[in-house]
């Protein structure tokens, strides 16, 4: 991150390298460091790519076990880093949507009052913790509330009485 900031400052401004490093808080040794190639990393990377091509559904943990069998003791975090650098991540499986069967015929619009109703239940609690439930019945054409029933619990007998009354 700091190396990128210094490189950006050098490209976009007329600030010296020393000043850019000081502003970012990066030492001269860190800025000038060139990593030495590691023969084991190259061997691991090559074998990791071969195994990933052979076993397409294997992720990093399973490939790590195969590499440990071949190379002996190798830190799993090193293999994880090489796996990520080689861009071998398997795309995550997409979850199937849990959408139910779709309605084949579009719902008819209400053309006169009392032709079609919509109902809903709403529940909440008062400040003292008392719970209550509200049953709402609305006419779709006029958008008027036909019935509103409020109680601590709503039984099917209560709803039957509401519909019989209407």
In contact, 111 and 132? CB cutoff 8 Å: no
Q: Could you give the C-alpha distances from 32 to 1, 5, 17, 18, 28, in angstroms and in order?
A: 15, 14, 11, 12, 6
Who's near 68: CB < 8 A, 6+ residues apart?
Answer: 74
Residue the block writes with tokens 């019945």: 137
- CA torsion 79-81-86-90 (nearest 10°) is 80
The span from the CA of 147 to the CA of 166, in Å, is 9
| pLDDT tens for the 166 residues of the chain, in order | 788 888 888 888 888 989 988 988 988 898 888 888 888 989 999 999 999 999 888 888 999 999 999 988 889 999 999 999 898 887 777 887 777 777 677 778 888 988 899 999 999 999 998 999 999 999 999 999 999 999 998 889 989 999 998 8
> pTM for this one?
0.43
- Give every strand in the sheet of 131-139, ordered side by side: 117-125, 131-139, 145-151
Q: Could you give the C-alpha distances from 119 to 116, 134, 139, 149, in angstroms and in order?
A: 10, 11, 9, 11
The span from the CA of 61 to the CA of 51, in Å, is 12
C-alpha neighbours within 13 Å on the C-beta side of residue 109: 2
| CB atoms near residue 64 (< 10 Å) | 20
């Amino acid at each position: 991150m700091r190396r990128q900031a210094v490189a950006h400052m050098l490209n976009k401004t007329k600030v010296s390298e020393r000043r850019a490093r000081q502003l970012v808080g990066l030492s001269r040794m860190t800025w000038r460091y060139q990593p030495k190639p590691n023969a084991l990393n190259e061997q691991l990377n090559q074998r990791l790519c071969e195994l990933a091509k052979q076993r397409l559904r294997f992720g990093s943990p399973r490939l790590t076990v195969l590499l440990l069998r071949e190379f002996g003791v190798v830190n799993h975090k090193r293999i994880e880093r090489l796996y990520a650098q080689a861009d071998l991540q398997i795309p995550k499986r997409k979850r199937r949507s849990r959408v139910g069967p779709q309605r084949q015929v579009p719902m008819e619009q209400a053309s006169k009052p009392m032709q079609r109703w919509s109902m809903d239940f709403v529940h909440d609690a008062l400040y003292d913790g008392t719970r209550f439930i509200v049953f709402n019945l609305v006419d779709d054409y006029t958008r008027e509330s036909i019935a509103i029933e409020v109680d601590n619990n709503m039984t099917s007998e209560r709803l039957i009485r509401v519909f019989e009354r209407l």
